[in-house]
Amino acid sequence: TGYVLSQLSQFHTGLRFAGLKIVHVSKMLAGEHYAEHRGKIFFPSLLEYITGNIHYPNEPRKQRVIAIVYQGHDTVKKIRDIAGPTNPHIARDEKPGCIRALGTVVPLKDDEGNVIGDRMDNLIHASATDEEAEREIKLWFRPNDIPPTMPMTLL
Catalytic residue annotation: 125
- Cα–Cα distances (Å) from 143 to 15, 60, 138, in that order, read 20, 27, 7
The SS3 assignment for 117 reads strand
- What phi, psi does 109 have (nearest 5°)? -115, 150
- Please, is 111 exposed, middle or buried when counting C-beta atoms within 10 Å of its C-beta (0-12, 13-18, 19+)? exposed
**One-letter amino acid identity for 89?**
H
Are 70 and 16 within 8 A, CB to CB? yes
